[in-house]
Structure 1
């Protein structure tokens, strides 16, 4: 990358019903690890992944893993602040989990916006390695959920088999880059308490010689 290149810091929320596999997805994507013994997330945790987007830009992706029960706490609004995208995860073996994903999407829309608009959010149908529930045979159910709730797309995923995660992540990041193009060029954007902007940062260039002490 040239010295004029940029680094973007993107905060993305990963939410969904308890035991949908959110932490497993993040661990697979950021560390290429999988364990069937992850404990239920209490509160919030976050992970980082650096992505070389092109010769002019790197992306530092910050994935925030919000515990499934924490949608009902007052802290969730604080956790959502400055997010530019979100992933809602549901367990594809459970129709109830899909129904909960609608509630999570509504919660996101109510608590964070990007220049007055909804942040781009994708839906992950996780645990396809276990076999999808009978309700998943009619894909129109998922498509209707996306249309009704405003998801920009959905992906079948498996943290265990490492399927669908990379594609879903890259799709979301590309949408964030598209929507953030004007802000990335330093153009003014309206701001208020519930509005966020992307702030690209100049790449740090390491000096050839370290300063003397």
Structure 2
């Protein structure tokens, strides 16, 4: 009997925002420059973590940021429970595309309860063009569930982002009524409605 929770996560954002580097740092604690090796289509990794005494298997999908792969990656939104929208804090262009990425996410997950974090990556680099305040403000405007900054290269804040995302997903999952509970509630409500409408 397995007591392992499984959670599907997705990384989206412009090409060269550092999605693959974040994933590599989190899953294998290694770093590789990705400027010249853009993800082709979709990459996939798993990570088993212990969260408050509970084993959680994270299946993490790293999607290509290039326009030509957009239709290829659309199916990978299905069933995801958490999403990191990643941008490069030294690239105003990647930051300006956040609303488009959020709109795409919404269009593919309208019927799903998805926890979304905006992540400003590459804080180790010189020449920052997007301030933390701007990032926080846009994340709030886009109704993201959280805003974080990170450096995959220096291993700053990477694990805490994935753990925080996992925590919020498990919290929502625990708060959601089970199908049996929901159906019994509906039956009870229906019975009450019948009683209140009877003519005495």
- CA distance 1:97–1:187, shift in 2 (3 Å): same
Deviation at 1:39, TM superposition (A): 1.1
Aligned equivalents of 1:151, 1:189: Cα separation in 2: 29
Deviation at 1:70, TM superposition (A): 5.0
Deviation at 1:156, TM superposition (A): 1.2
Q: TM-score, normalised by structure 1?
A: 0.77
Unmatched 5+ stretches in structure 1: 191-213
CA RMSD of aligned residues (A): 2.3
Deviation at 1:72, TM superposition (A): 6.1
Find runs of 4+ consecutive structure 1 residues off by over 6 angstroms.
none
Number of aligned positions between the proteins: 181
2:118 is aligned to: 123
- CA distance 1:148–1:177, shift in 2 (3 Å): same
Aligned equivalents of 1:89, 1:71: Cα separation in 2: 19
> By percentage of residues, which structure has more helix?
2
2:140 is aligned to: 147
User: Relative contact order, CA 8 A, sep 6+: which one is greater?
Assistant: 1
- CA distance 1:71–1:118, shift in 2 (3 Å): farther
Asked if 2 retains the 8 angstrom alpha-carbon contact of 1:10 and 1:84, the reply is yes
1:94 is aligned to: 91
Aligned equivalents of 1:118, 1:147: Cα separation in 2: 18
Q: 2:58 aligned with 1:66, yes or no?
A: no
Deviation at 1:131, TM superposition (A): 3.1
Aligned equivalents of 1:109, 1:71: Cα separation in 2: 20
Aligned equivalents of 1:189, 1:72: Cα separation in 2: 41
Asked if 2 retains the 8 angstrom alpha-carbon contact of 1:15 and 1:88, the reply is yes
1:177 is aligned to: 170
| Alignment deviations for residues 69-91 of structure 1 (CA, whole Å, 9 cap, x no partner) | 15863233311111001001100
Structure (1 or 2) with the larger CA radius of gyration: 2
1:200 is aligned to: none
1:97 counterpart SS class: helix
Deviation at 1:117, TM superposition (A): 5.2
Aligned equivalents of 1:122, 1:89: Cα separation in 2: 8
Asked if 1 retains the 8 angstrom alpha-carbon contact of 2:91 and 2:129, the reply is no
Aligned equivalents of 2:112, 2:133: Cα separation in 1: 26
2:15 counterpart SS class: coil
| Alignment deviations for residues 46-85 of structure 1 (CA, whole Å, 9 cap, x no partner) | 1000011133x21100110000015863233311111001
Aligned equivalents of 1:160, 1:189: Cα separation in 2: 46
